[in-house]
Structure 1
Amino acid sequence: MTRNWNPLALVYLGLSVAGLIGTWTYNILSISQARDYLGDWTGSGPSVSSLTVDLLVTAVAGSILIIVEARRLGMKRAWLYVVLAFVLAFAFSFPLFLAMRERHLAATRMLPDLPPEQLSKP
C-alpha cells in the first residue's frame, strides 16, 4: 500500500485531508445551525469560513504544483506565479501558469530531443 507514495504525493494527500476536514467542519456547523449556506457567502457565517479554507488549501496545493512542475519542465521564474497569487488572485495566477506551461510544452515539442537544462537556455 505504501508503493509510489513519494514525499510530494504525501504533501498533496495531507492537503487533501486538511481541505476535507477544514471545509466540512464549517459545512456541518452551517447545516446544524440551519443556515442559508449560499446566502451566508454574501454575509458572514460558517459557509464563508468553509469557502476560505477551500480556497486556501487549493492555493497552497496549486502553488506547490506550480513550483514542482516548473522545475521539472525547466521553466524560469515560477515563484512569480505564487507571488501573483497573493498580490492579485490565485484564480488569475494558476490559469496563467497553465497557459505558460502549455506554451512551454508546445515550444519544447518543436525542438530536437535535448535535456531539460538545455531547453531553458536562451
Structure 2
Amino acid sequence: MTRHWTPLAVVYLVLAVVGLIGTWTFNVLAITQMVDFVGDLVGSGPAVSSITVDLLIVAIAGSVFIIVEARRIGMRRGWLYVVLSAVTAFAFTFPLFLAMRQRHLTRLTTEARRRA
C-alpha cells in the first residue's frame, strides 16, 4: 500500500501538533490559576476583544470550509473536526483536517492513476 503522507500533509500535521500544544499550555495555566477564561477574552480590553472576534470569524469560516470541502471530496465525518475544535482548539483541528484532506486527495489521485 502506498503511503499518503505528502510533505504538505506533514507540514499541516506538524502545525496541528503545535496548535494543540500551544493552546493547551495556556488552557492548563488558566485552569490551574482558576482564571475566568471567557471573561478574559471579552473583558481584557479592545485589543484582546479584537483578536477574539478575528479568530472567532476565522474559526467559523474554517468550520464551514471543513464541512463543505469534506462533502465535496467525499471525506467521511468532516463535521467531527468542528466538534473536536470545541474541546481542543481550532488551531489543532483545522491543520489536522488539512493534513487528512491532503492524504485523502493523494489517495484519490493514486487510485485514479492505477485505474488509468
TM value normalised by structure 2: 0.59
Deviations 1:12-71 (A, max 9, x none): xxxxxxxxxxxxxxxxxxxxxxxxxxxxx9x92101100110010000000000000000
Higher helix share: 2
Higher relative contact order (CA 8 A, sep 6+): 2
Q: What amino acid maps onto 2:80 in structure 1?
A: L
Q: How many residues align?
A: 72
Matches within 5 A, 1:88-107: 88-107=88-107
Find the aligned partners of 2:112 and 2:106 in 1 and give their Cα distance: 12
Once residues 60 and 97 of structure 1 are traced to their aligned partners in structure 2, the CA distance between those partners, rounded to angstroms, is 14
Give the secondary-structure state (helix, strand or coil) at the position aligned to 1:112.
helix
Root-mean-square deviation (CA, aligned residues, Å) is 1.7
Distance, in Å, in 1 between the alignment partners of 2:89 and 2:62 is 12
Cα deviation digits, residues 62-89 of structure 1 (max 9, x gap)? 0000000000000000011001111100
1:116 aligned partner: none
Could you give the per-residue CA deviations for residues 71-115 of structure 1, whole angstroms, max 9, x where no partner exists? 0000000011001111100000000000000000000011137xx
Confirm whether residue 111 of structure 1 aligns to residue 111 of structure 2: yes
Larger Rg: 1
Q: Does structure 1 residue 52 correspond to structure 2 residue 42?
A: no
Q: Distance in 2 between matches of 1:73 and 1:109?
A: 12
**Structure 2 unaligned blocks of 5 or more:** 1-40
Task: Show the 5 A alignment for 1:1-122.
Answer: 44-112=44-112
Aligned to 1:56, what secondary structure does the other structure show? Answer: helix
